[in-house]
Structure 1
Amino acid sequence: MQMMTPAAPGVTPTLLIVLVLAGAIIALGFVVVVSRHRNLVIRHEALTQDVGTLKATMSTISARLTDISKDGKYNTELLYTIIRGTFESANGKQS
């Protein structure tokens, strides 16, 4: 009598090749996703820092514009005083 080893039911060499290829594709996809996630985290941190810098810059610009606006009001008042003084001086010399 000759004894034959029974083959595993339903497992063929073609199925094994397909399973190995599917496993390799899944592993490669996982590596790509993890790498992409790491790059996105780094980019997110950089953008967060940029936003912080922009907010600080905007606060500085806003404060500076307020100062300029106040200076403009003072300059306008000074200009009116000079013009008024000039007119009064001219009118006083003619009389």
Structure 2
Amino acid sequence: MKIFDILMWIMFFISSIVSIITTLVLFGISYGAFLKPFSTMLPLEISLALTFFLWGLNSLYGSYLIDKDNNPKFSIMLFALGGILLIFVIFGIY
């Protein structure tokens, strides 16, 4: 489905921006009230979990993929990684 592809690329972009902001804040850039939530790894972990879930959905339902035999293994791996990250977020493990 094309919507999963579009959402996946939007989440890749958002995760890239969140990781850059988190890196800058954690390594000494002075921040105001707007960047205070980025002083932990929680926003980065949430964005990566959503990215992996959308990537798994896109690899499972993408009709344009060439190698469909290896596709379920890859999407299950992405779902598992996204689920593990989501469990870490819920329990507060960074």
TM-score relative to the length of structure 2: 0.30
Select the structure that is richer in helix. 1
Higher Cα radius of gyration: 1
Q: Higher relative CO (CA 8 A, sep ≥ 6), structure 1 or 2?
A: 2
For normalisation by structure 1, the TM-score amounts to 0.29
